[in-house]
Amino acid sequence: MNSTQRVHCTHERHAPAILAIFNEAIVNSTALYDYQPRPLESMKAWFDTKQQGNFPVIGLEDSQGQLLAFGSYGTFRAWPAYKYTAEHSVYVHRDHRGRGLGLEVMRALIESARQRDLHALVGGIDATNTASIALHQRLGFRHVGTLPQVGFKLGRWLDLALYQLLLETPRKPVDG
Q: Which mean pLDDT values do the consecutive 10-residue runs of the chain (176 residues) have?
A: 87 98 96 96 98 97 96 96 98 95 98 98 98 97 98 97 98 93
The size of the chain, in residues, is 176
Q: What is the DSSP letter of 79?
A: S
User: Is 22 among the domain residues?
Assistant: yes
pTM: 0.94
d(CA 37, CA 45): 15
- The pLDDT value recorded for residue 55 is 98
- The pLDDT value recorded for residue 153 is 97
Question: Could you tell me the CATH number of the domain that includes residue 94?
Answer: 3.40.630.30
Nearest to 65 by CA among 14, 138, 135: 14
User: Is 172 among the domain residues?
Assistant: no
Cβ burial 128-152 (10 Å sphere, 16+ → b, else e) = eeeebbebbeebebeeeeeeeeebe
- Total domain count, the chain: 1
Q: Phi first, then psi: what are they for 117, rounded to 5°? A: 60, 35
What pLDDT, in 10s, does the model give residues 43-93?
A: 999 999 999 999 999 999 999 999 999 999 999 999 999 999 999 999 999
User: Is 90 among the domain residues?
Assistant: yes
User: Is 19 among the domain residues?
Assistant: yes
- Domain extent, residue 80, equals 5-166
